[in-house]
Each structure stands twice: as structure tokens, then as C-alpha cells.
């Protein structure tokens, strides 16, 4: 009997943006801004300072997955790391580093990892055929919007959840979206690890 193999996606990429590491760090550290940075995040709700409820789009599957992200380590203005806190379908881990460059520029280094347990239905292909290229495109789009002063940051005082939403752990289910009417240490955090 052959056991199913685990699958994972590891993306490591970077981009240089014209701004200070402090300003960029604080924008990224509020993970609600991920919806304006990454195509795979549809919505992010702040639960508390370190926890965020995230809805991820499953590429080409017409499905979404809800999970909680938790900041695990941070060094303000330098880096922060996070991981998924409760998803049974896959594990996610990420690190964002902000390395000052000359002339008020910052290199943003991103590491994203998704681990798909062998006995679950979720598989690596669900994130899209070339996930790294998608992330690189997302970073380029962020750079262009940021430097053109067209990136809209969320206000830090929007901490309240909309009526009816709970701060309880996110459900471990994949669900189809509703159809609309008419539709046819300093700069040196630990290396990501999965078993």
C-alpha cells in the first residue's frame, strides 16, 4: 500500500520599494491590508493585535477557505512572522522582512509556505499553476500603487468586527461563494518549518 505524499508550496521573493522600512512594516503588519496586496486573500478581519480571520480564494476551484492567522514573532520595522492557527485543510506560514536600503528605499523579502497534509482534500495545485509568479506580480502591483500614492491603507482604529461576526475560531470548512443574481532577531527570524 502506497501512502499519499505530502505536498507543499514555498515562495521566496523580494522587491525594493521607495519608502522607509518603518512605514512599510506598519502597513504590512496590519494584515487586513493583505486584501489589497495578495490576490489569494479575499478578506481579512482583525480579531485582536496578533490574530486575523482570513478568507483565502482557492484558484480555479470557485471555493474559499476560512482560517485564522496568528503573528508568532515580530521585530518592529524589521520583520514579522505568522502562521495559520486552526486550518485542518492545510498549514500556512509566512515571514515579511523589511531591509533598509540607500536613499530611503526598503527591500521587502517575502517567504510564504503552504503545507497540505496527505490525508486532506486540499492540494498544492489549488493555489494556481504558478503561484510564485502570482505573488511576484502582486508585489510589483503593490510597489507601483505605493510609489504612486494610490495604495489605500486601512485605518488603525477599525478594530471592531461587523455585527454578527464572532471572534471564535474560524470554521474548518471549504465553501462555495454565493452566486450573484445575473451571473453566469534583527532581520533574521527563524526559518519556516513544517513537519
Using one digit for the tens of pLDDT, what is the confidence trace for 54-67? 988 776 556 788 88
Pair 93, 67: CB distance under 8 Å: no
CATH of 8-151, one of 3.40.50.1260, 3.30.530.20, 3.60.21.10, 3.40.50.12710: 3.30.530.20
- If one counts every other C-beta atom within 10 angstroms of the C-beta of residue 131, the result is 20
Report pLDDT for 155: 44
72 burial via Cβ count (<10 Å: 0-12, 13-18, 19+)? middle
Distances from the Cα of 67 to the Cα of 32, 55, 149, 174, 184, angstroms: 14, 6, 31, 10, 28
Per residue in 29-49, pLDDT (tens digit) is: 999 999 999 988 889 999 999
- If one counts every other C-beta atom within 10 angstroms of the C-beta of residue 53, the result is 23
Mean predicted lDDT score pLDDT of the chain: 76
Report pLDDT for 59: 63
**180 has pLDDT over 50:** no
Report pLDDT for 131: 82
Pair 119, 126: CB distance under 8 Å: no
More confident residue, 90 or 177: 90
Whole-prediction pTM value? 0.73
Amino acid at each position: 500500500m502506497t501512502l499519499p505524499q505530502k505536498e507543499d508550496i514555498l515562495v521566496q521573493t523580494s522587491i525594493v520599494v521607495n519608502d522607509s522600512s518603518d512605514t512599510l512594516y506598519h502597513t504590512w503588519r496590519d494584515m487586513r491590508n493583505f486584501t489589497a496586496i495578495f490576490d489569494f486573500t479575499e478578506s481579512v478581519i482583525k480579531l485582536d493585535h496578533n490574530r486575523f480571520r482570513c478568507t483565502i480564494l482557492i484558484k480555479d476551484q470557485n471555493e474559499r477557505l476560512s482560517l485564522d492567522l496568528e503573528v508568532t514573532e515580530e521585530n518592529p520595522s524589521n520583520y514579522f512572522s505568522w502562521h495559520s492557527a486552526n486550518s485542518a485543510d492545510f498549514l500556512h506560514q509566512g515571514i515579511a522582512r523589511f531591509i533598509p536600503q540607500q536613499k530611503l528605499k526598503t527591500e521587502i523579502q517575502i517567504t510564504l509556505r503552504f503545507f497540505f497534509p496527505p490525508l486532506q482534500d486540499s492540494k498544492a495545485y489549488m493555489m494556481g499553476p504558478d503561484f510564485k509568479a502570482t505573488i511576484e506580480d502582486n508585489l510589483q502591483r503593490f510597489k507601483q500603487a505605493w510609489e504612486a500614492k494610490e495604495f489605500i491603507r486601512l485605518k488603525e482604529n477599525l478594530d471592531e468586527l461587523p455585527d454578527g461576526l464572532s471572534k471564535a475560531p474560524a470554521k474548518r470548512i471549504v465553501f462555495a461563494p454565493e452566486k450573484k443574481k445575473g451571473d453566469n532577531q534583527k532581520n533574521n527570524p527563524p526559518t519556516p518549518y513544517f513537519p
